[in-house]
Structure 1
Amino acid sequence: MNFIVFDLEWNQSPEGKKYSNRRLPFEIIEIGAVKLNERKETVDTFHRLIKPQVYNWIHNSIREVIHVNYKDLETGTPFPQAVREFIEWCGDDWHFCTWGNQDVMELQRNMKYYELLHLLPGPVAYYDIQKLFSSCFEDGESRRSLEYAIDFLGIKKGDNFHRAFADAFYTAKVLAFMENKKILPFYSLDVYQNPKSRKEEIHISYPTYDKFISREFSSRERTIKDREVSSTKCPVCHKPAKRKIRWFMNNSKIYYSVSNCQEHGYIIGKIRIRKTEEGLYFAIKTLKPVSIEEAEEIREKREALRLKKQLKRRSEKEL
C-alpha cells in the first residue's frame, strides 16, 4: 500500500465571481504529488502544469500567491491528459493524502467537468494530514497552516510554499512523523460523489465515534425527518440510545441532540445537511460518547436558543 500525497493549485475567473463558470468555479492549473511506501519512503514523484481551458488569465490574487503567469501555463498539459496520467501513476493500491479537505473535492469537480469522474469512483477516502497533525501533536480541533507544521516539527525549509509539488513534498515530510497505527483508522471520506440510494448509504465506525452518510432527499425537512438520519445508536455497543435532548438546530444550521446509553453513558449527535449540485440534500451524522459536562453544554446551548427565540417573538408582537 502506498500513500499518494498530492496538492493542487487552481485558478478562478479573473473578472470576479459574476463571470465564473458555474460548473467549474476553480480550474486546476497544477498537480504535484509524492508517492510514499508504508515506511513513508519516497518511491516516486509526479508534477504537471495544466494548460487552462476555461479562464484565459490568472486571477491577480492567485498569481501573487503562487507566482505563476499565464504564459507559464500555455505549454502545459491539458487537464484530461494530465489527470489520466496522474491516476495511472497512482497505481493499484494507494490512499490519497492532502493538507486539508479541499483538494480531493476540486479534483473530482474538474474531472466531472471533463466527463472523467468514472476514473475515480466515490465517495473517495483520503487522509487529511492537516486534521491528523492536530490529532497527533495538538488538541485535535486546531487547523494549522502547512508552514506552521513544518516549523513545529523542525523540518528544513527550501522551496517556496503555495506551489503544488512543494506543498505535496512538505506534506509528505509531515506525514513521515506520524505512526501508521495512530492515523490509519482515521481516514476521511469526501462526499462530492455522495450516496444516491438507501443501498449506498454509508456507516463508518471510527475508534472514537460513528459516522453515517445518508442517501439523497428532495428537501432539508425530508432529510432530517428520515428515521435513519434522526436515529441515535450508541457508537460503542450500537444499541438504540434513549433521547434526552431532541434534535435542534443552532445558528450555524447544525443539528444537535443528546442521548443516553445505559451501559456507555451520554452521546452527542451532530447532523450537517449538505446540498448537491443538482439541488438535492443529504445528511452527514456523527455520534460520539461524551462526558456529562459536555452533554450539559449542549443543553445550555439549546436553552440559550430557546430564550433568544422567545425574546424575538415578544419584540415582534410589540411592533
Structure 2
Amino acid sequence: MKNYIVLDLEWNQNAGGKEEAVDHFPFEIIEIGAVRLNDAMEETGEYRRLIKPRVYTELHEKILEVTHMDQQTLMEEGICFEEAVEEFILWCGADPVFCTWGSMDLTELQRNIAYYKLSNPFKKPLLYYDIQKLYSLLEGDGKDRVSLDVAVFESGVMEERPFHRAMDDAHYTGRIMSKMDFKRVEAYWSTDYYCLPSNKEEEVYLVFPGYSKYISRPFESKQAAIEDKTVTDLICCKCNRMLRKKIRWFSVNQKFYTALGCCPVHGNVKGKIRLRRNDEGMVYVVKTMKLIGENEISEIYEKKDETKKKRVEKTKVRKQNKKRGVFPPS
C-alpha cells in the first residue's frame, strides 16, 4: 500500500530584501502542512505545525499579504524548527512517497535542515511527484505550469477554505490528485537536486517513457564537467546503447548544450545538457536524452548553423578590433 505524503510549506524571507539575507538561506520555513493519502487517493491523516522564526523574525510584507498570517500567533504558537522536523518525519511513517505542488518545497526543507545542522533524513536520490508538472502533462502541453488555485478551479474541487496556508494547499493538492488519472503519469518522477551524488558511483540515471535523465556529481568548473566522458556520452534511452553522434555537443549560451545521435534500433536521440551550480558554487550536470522526430532534427541543425554563424561573426569582430588596437576589458 502506498504512503503518499502531500507536503506544502510556507516560508518567510528577509524583510529588508535579498541583499541582507543570510547566504544560502533565502527562506525560513514558518509552517509545515501535509496530508497522507492511500492508494485510492483518500486522506487518511494530516499534519500541521507553525514554526517560530529565529533568523527572519519580522514577516515580509508579501508573506503577510499572501498568507494573512498573524505574527503574534506565529511567535506564541510556533515551535522550534528542529522539533517540527523530527515530529514531521516520524509522522510520515515508513517509505513515504512525497508529493508537492511545484519543485521548491523539498529543496527548501533540506536547506533549512542544513542551516540548523541537522542530519538529512531523505534518501539519495530524492524522488518525488511534482503534481504541478503531472497536471500539466495530463491537462496541458507538459511545459506550461498553472497555479494551484487555477488547477483547483479547473478540477472542480474548490471548497470553503483559503489558499496560501500550508495545510490548505496540501489538502487542495491531494484533492487534485484524487481527480487526475494518476496511473497515466506515475512513471514521471521528479528528482530533487539539493543533495547531489557525492561521487561517480552515486551518479543518477533514470529512465522514463520516451526519455532518460542523468545527474552528475559536482565538478569544480564548467570545463571540468564538459570534459568528463560520462557527461558527454550519448545513450539511447530505450536500449542503453552508446550512440554515434551525428551532431557533436554544441552550445548557444554556454549553459545548455545539444547533441544528436542515432540508434540503429530506435532512431534519432536528442541529448541536452544543462549546467547548474549548487550552493557551494560547484557545477553539476543534468543531461536528458529523448527520442525525437524529423521536425526536431531540423531545429537542431538550424541551431547548429546559427551557432556557427555567431562564432564566425565574433571571430571577425575580434580580428577587426585587434587591427584597430581595441581590446576587451580584462
Above 0.5 in TM-score?
yes
Counterparts of 1:92 and 1:115, CA distance in 2: 24
Counterparts of 1:309 and 1:62, CA distance in 2: 46
List per-residue Cα deviations over 1:243-301 (Å, max 9, x = no partner): 01111122371111111112211111011122222232221111000002112111111
Matching residue's letter, 2:235? K
Deviation of 1:62 after TM superposition, in Å, equals 1.7
Counterparts of 1:10 and 1:40, CA distance in 2: 27
Q: Which of 97, 122, 135 is 1:95 aligned to?
A: 97
Conserved? CA contact 2:125–2:204, under 8 Å: no
Conserved? CA contact 1:126–1:189, under 8 Å: yes
Aligned to 2:187: 185
List per-residue Cα deviations over 1:41-78 (Å, max 9, x = no partner): 10000111110010120111121111113212102011
Conserved? CA contact 2:197–2:203, under 8 Å: yes
Matching residue's letter, 1:236? K
Does the residue aligned with 2:305 lie in a helix, a strand or coil?
helix
Aligned to 1:149: 151
Aligned to 2:174: 172
Does the residue aligned with 2:72 lie in a helix, a strand or coil?
helix
Conserved? CA contact 1:50–1:77, under 8 Å: yes
Aligned to 1:66: 67
Counterparts of 1:298 and 1:269, CA distance in 2: 10
Aligned to 1:114: 116
Counterparts of 1:2 and 1:141, CA distance in 2: 28
Counterparts of 2:254 and 2:225, CA distance in 1: 17
Matching residue's letter, 1:17? K
Deviation of 1:119 after TM superposition, in Å, equals 2.1
Q: Which has the larger radius of gyration?
A: 2
Counterparts of 2:123 and 2:244, CA distance in 1: 37
Conserved? CA contact 1:108–1:117, under 8 Å: no
Counterparts of 1:298 and 1:117, CA distance in 2: 44
Q: How does 1:200-239 map to 2 (within 5 A)?
A: 200-239=202-241
Counterparts of 2:261 and 2:245, CA distance in 1: 4
Structure 2 unaligned spans of 5+: 322-330
Q: How does 1:286-301 map to 2 (within 5 A)?
A: 286-301=288-303
Counterparts of 2:152 and 2:17, CA distance in 1: 33
Counterparts of 1:62 and 1:78, CA distance in 2: 19
Structure 1 unaligned spans of 5+: none
Aligned to 2:19: 18
- The alignment of Structure 1 onto Structure 2 pairs a total of residues equal to 319
Conserved? CA contact 1:241–1:260, under 8 Å: yes
Deviation of 1:312 after TM superposition, in Å, equals 3.4
Counterparts of 2:24 and 2:318, CA distance in 1: 41
Q: More deviation in 147-156 or 243-252?
A: 243-252
Aligned to 1:9: 10
Q: More deviation in 21-30 or 307-316?
A: 307-316
TM-score (norm 1): 0.96
Conserved? CA contact 2:251–2:257, under 8 Å: yes
Matching residue's letter, 1:61? K
Aligned CA distance change for structure 1 residues 252 and 129 (closer, same or farther; 3 Å): farther
Q: More deviation in 110-119 or 81-90?
A: 110-119
Deviation of 1:79 after TM superposition, in Å, equals 0.7
Deviation of 1:99 after TM superposition, in Å, equals 0.5
Q: CA RMSD in A?
A: 1.5
Matching residue's letter, 2:98? F
Establish whether residue 251 from structure 1 lines up as the match of residue 253 from structure 2. yes
Conserved? CA contact 1:209–1:287, under 8 Å: yes
Q: More deviation in 226-235 or 177-186?
A: 177-186
Does the residue aligned with 1:29 lie in a helix, a strand or coil?
strand
Matching residue's letter, 2:55? V
Aligned to 2:55: 54
Aligned to 2:311: 309
Deviation of 1:178 after TM superposition, in Å, equals 2.5
Matching residue's letter, 1:299? Y
Conserved? CA contact 2:216–2:285, under 8 Å: yes
Deviation of 1:179 after TM superposition, in Å, equals 3.1
Counterparts of 2:277 and 2:141, CA distance in 1: 30
